[in-house]
Amino acid sequence: MENLITPSEKSIDTLIEMINLALDHNYKLIKISDHIQFGELNAFSGFEKKFNEEVYVSLIAVRQTCLYSTSNSNALAIQERESIVIHVSKDRSLIVHSPQIDSRCIVIIYSSSFIDRLCIEDRKFLKLIEAYKRHSIQDDSIYPLTLELLHNSMPDYLRNIQQKSKVLEIFFKQLTHISTHQAENIFNLKKVEMKKAEDARQLIDSDVSNSYTIPELARIIGTNEQYLKKHFKQLYGTTIHNYILKNKMQHAKELLITSELKIAAIANKIGYKHATHFTTAFKKYFGFLPNSMRFNWIAYLSPYYLEFLCII
């Protein structure tokens, strides 16, 4: 490992470009039945597939951000430990990218024939999925299931059974979350109420350095503070404060890995005046100090990357 490239020897941008060129669209789908496949996307790998039948797809962002889009939609993102279920029509394409240096994303594809075999009356959940398709699922119980799916140490004769059980449990938890936690609230929201909450989220996403207060957001968007708080929580399943914090921490984590900025500069970029306040908030959110992540950045790469970096 003595010849390992470090940020001081070559710019992060050049390294990322080289890895991107080498590993783009590097993925493999594992078939666990005639109706279900799954695969893992690591950093900079992409998934693009046109389906010749109607399918349902579960996406889980295991680490960092996962971007996805279909033939007839704009790109959307789910953050670390979030997931989504989407319906992809016949002859439509699904595009998924895991764009950051330590990204990991799981793609699980369920065929329409599998859904038919579930015998759910009138496929009622399809309406829920369609209503919820632009909103991420925030259920912490799904994350450990994805880790068990990825790190399956069972002997061969049990491995397939465990894989099937895990993907079905993930699908069940996603549908349960949609139907019981937030879908009814979304149905009850008027279009104008949903639009105000979406405007608030877009404003927050556009400027991670700004620590918006609820009165500020309400004034800019043109709505009542209490309504904004209520409708944002209904639509996204989290408070405005927690959403702003998550955005800041995820952006800081990305900067720690992909830049050589000092901690104080990173703190300033995400809206903290004092580096100590940022360090405290970061440790409380992730459980470790910012510098510990930077000094051990190579540990966040997959074994594939370690091998690749040693070669170059």
CATH code of residue 94: 2.60.120.10
Does residue 108 form part of some domain? Answer: yes
104 and 199 co-located in one domain: no
217 and 149 co-located in one domain: no
The model's pLDDT over 146-195, given as tens digits with 9 standing for 90+, comes to 888 888 778 887 888 889 999 999 998 988 888 776 555 666 778 788 88
- What is the predicted pLDDT for the residue at 183? 53
144 and 225 co-located in one domain: no
- What is the predicted pLDDT for the residue at 219? 94
Q: How many domains does the chain have?
A: 2
- What is the predicted pLDDT for the residue at 297? 45
155 and 18 co-located in one domain: yes
- Please tell me what DSSP assigns to residue 300: G
The model's pLDDT over 238-265, given as tens digits with 9 standing for 90+, comes to 889 988 998 898 888 888 877 889 999 9
284 and 214 co-located in one domain: yes
157 and 71 co-located in one domain: yes
Residue ranges of the alpha helices (H) in the chain?
A: 12-23, 112-117, 124-132, 142-150, 156-177, 183-188, 191-206, 214-221, 225-236, 240-258, 263-269, 275-286, 290-295, 303-311
174 and 261 co-located in one domain: no
How confident is residue 12, by pLDDT bands cut at 50, 70 and 90?
Answer: very low
Mean pLDDT along residues 11-15: 48
Q: What is the pTM of this model?
A: 0.58
Task: Count other Cβ atoms within 10 Å, centred on residue 309.
Answer: 18
Indicate if the alpha-carbon torsion angle 121, 56, 150, 296 is positive or negative.
negative
How confident is residue 120, by pLDDT bands cut at 50, 70 and 90?
Answer: low
Does residue 312 form part of some domain? Answer: no
CATH code of residue 233: 1.10.10.60
How confident is residue 37, by pLDDT bands cut at 50, 70 and 90?
Answer: very high
Mean pLDDT along residues 89-109: 82
The model's pLDDT over 184-211, given as tens digits with 9 standing for 90+, comes to 566 677 878 888 988 998 899 889 999 9
- What is the predicted pLDDT for the residue at 266? 94
Q: Quote the tokens at residue 24.
A: 């783009």
Does residue 6 form part of some domain? Answer: no
177 and 199 co-located in one domain: no
Does residue 165 form part of some domain? Answer: yes
Residue 74 CB contacts under 8 Å (≥ 6 apart), including other chains: none
Q: Which of 160, 182, 204 finishes a domain?
A: 182
**Which residue range is the domain that position 74 belongs to?**
12-182
SS3 call for 270: coil
Mean pLDDT along residues 13-21: 47
- Which of 67-81, 185-199, 297-311 is least confident? 297-311
Q: Which of 133, 161, 182 finishes a domain?
A: 182
282 and 211 co-located in one domain: yes
Does residue 311 form part of some domain? Answer: no
3-state SS record for 118-147 = CCCHHHHHHHHHHHHCCCCECCCCHHHHHH
68 and 216 co-located in one domain: no
Does residue 306 form part of some domain? Answer: no
How confident is residue 123, by pLDDT bands cut at 50, 70 and 90?
Answer: low
Q: Which of 117, 148, 182 finishes a domain?
A: 182
Mean pLDDT along residues 212-239: 89
Long-range pairs for 273-280 at CB < 8 Å and ≥24 separation? 278/252
112 and 165 co-located in one domain: yes
Does residue 4 form part of some domain? Answer: no
